[in-house]
Structures are given as structure tokens and as C-alpha cells.
Amino acid sequence: MLTTSLPGGTWTLGGLTVTRFGYGAMQLAGPGVMGPPADRDGALAVLRTAVELGITHIDTSAAYGPQVTNQLIREALHPYPDSLHIVTKVGANRDPQGGWPPARDPRSLRRSVRENLETLGLDVLDLVNLRLGDAAGPRPGSLAEAFETLADLQRQGLIRHLGVSNATPEQVAEAQAIAPIVCVQNMYNLAHRRDDELIDALAGQGVAYVPFFPLGGFSPLQSSVLSTVAARLEAAPMSVALAWLLRRSPNILLIPGTSSAAHLRENVAGAALSLSDDDLAELETIGR
């Protein structure tokens, strides 16, 4: 059994125990999540720092770069420690302009799973999320054909567990009628709380909720209330935002992104911050 001193403890994704404090690797690619990083050694050092700190959940996608973050993960960490679980996602390609066109037809999904296996240097992917919607957020519509394709790849032994990303609650339910899911990865943070009900429902089912953009993503979280609470606690606003997520629900797993080992250490230390009931009530006003 995995023991950790990381804030939040651990969670079990299907049969896989992960630290609730994970790491999102998207920021390691070049500008616009295209091409290689300016500081390749620095990017490799961030990944090694994550593992040294005890993080056992790394989130990636073959679309980051494309292929760049997967290659960096392999170079920095392969052969992987048994405790480390790399979560990837399929369902979008990149175009030359840096866009994210959907690629959810069965052929593209099978190719993307193969690419992830090859670039990460794995025989089986621990967890694959089907990314739905588009850059503006979830979009209604059936995921049946795409999710059945992933369920088939799971039956073939290429994937251990499945999840969905950028999904509506209806799509989450549709996926669950096809095959068990162990996580939902959607946009959520102190200021963006559309999934409050979904998070609580998933907690009741023992399914993880993994917020992307936990710190606001490309537009860092900015709120006078957040700044006030952070100043009172003599903490960074980002630390408060992460500590709040860990308190929000036990099924929330963190994958904050950073291209800086110093920020990673700061975030790990900061997420351990203790928030009082008064702090929580004040923070609650941000997203309401």
C-alpha cells in the first residue's frame, strides 16, 4: 500500500493507488502547447522532481506538442517506478495552426492509443480519458461509438481503465452505461464551478473528479477575495486555490501544471495549507 506525506493523501483509481496531488504535464511543451520546450533540461527536471516529491499520478496526452510531453516523460522517467501511473487522453489532434480538431472516429482513436503506447514506452496504458467537446468546453452529443472503441481496446488489454474529459453529465452517464469509468477530467476551479453537482454525484459513486485548469490555466485565477484570504494566511493565492480543491471533495485529484520545479515544490507545500470555516465561507463567494 502506498503511503505518502503529500497533501491530500491517496485515492484509488480502479485498482491503481495514486497520490491526490498529481502533476499535469501540458505546460512542458513549447508555446501554445506546440513543439519542444525552450528549456529541455528544465522540463526533464520538473518531471524528476515530481517523482522525487512522491507524486504518483502524471497527466499527459499525445496531443501535447504533439508527442512532446510523452517523449519528455519517457526520457525523464523510463523505466517507470511501479508506483507511478501515467494518465493520457485521446480524442483530439493538433493542426498546423495549433488548434485541437476532434479525432474521435474509431480509426483515429486506435491510432492515438498506439501512439501513446509507443511514445510513452508502455505495453498497457493505465488510464485513458476520452476527450470530448472542444476548446470552448463540453458539447452535447453521443459518445457511444468513440467510447465503445476504447472499451474494445480495453478488452484487448491495451488499456487498464477508462475515463472521460470535457464531458457533460449526460455523457458521463452514457459512458458508464457502456463501460465503468474511474474518473472525469473537466475544467473546474474556485471561480469556475459548473460541475459542483457532478462532483458530488461522482463522489457518491467512488469515481474521481480531476479538475483541469485548477489554477485557471492560461489565464491564472484572479480574484480580490482570493487575494485577501491568501494575504491573511500569508500564502500564495495558488496555494489557497489548491488547498481549497483538496478540501472541496475527497474524490478530487489535483493535476496542476507548471514548467518550473520551484513552482511545483511551492504548490506541493502550499496545498497543505489549512483553511478555516471562515476562509472556506469567504472563498465560496468567488464562484457563486
Ligand X SMILES: NC(=O)c1ccc[n+]([C@@H]2O[C@H](COP(=O)([O-])OP(=O)(O)OC[C@H]3O[C@@H](n4cnc5c(N)ncnc54)[C@H](OP(=O)(O)O)[C@@H]3O)[C@@H](O)[C@H]2O)c1
Residues with catalytic roles: 64
Question: In whole angstroms, what is the distance from residue 280 CA to residue 285 CA?
Answer: 9
Q: Interface with ligand X by CB under 6 A: which residues?
A: 24-27, 59, 89, 131, 165-166, 185, 212-217, 220, 238, 255-260, 263, 266-267
The nearer residue to ligand X, 184 or 275, going by C-beta atoms, is 184
The nearest distance, CB 246 to ligand X, in angstroms, is 14
Query: What is the rounded distance in angstroms from the CA atom of residue 55 to the CA atom of residue 268?
Result: 10
Sign of CA dihedral 71, 76, 80, 84: negative
Residue 203 CB, nearest distance to ligand X (Å)?
20
* Residue with Cβ nearer ligand X (116 or 267): 267
Give 117 or 254: the residue with its C-beta nearer to ligand X. Answer: 254
CB of 188 to ligand X, least distance (A): 10
Angle at 165 between CA 160 and CA 166, to 5 degrees: 175
**Closest CB 87 distance from ligand X, rounded Å:** 8
The residue number with the shortest CB distance to ligand X is 257
- 169: exposed, middle or buried (Cβ count in 10 Å: 0-12, 13-18, 19+): middle
Q: Which is nearer to ligand X, 26 or 44 (CB)?
A: 26
Residues β-bridged to residue 163: 129, 183
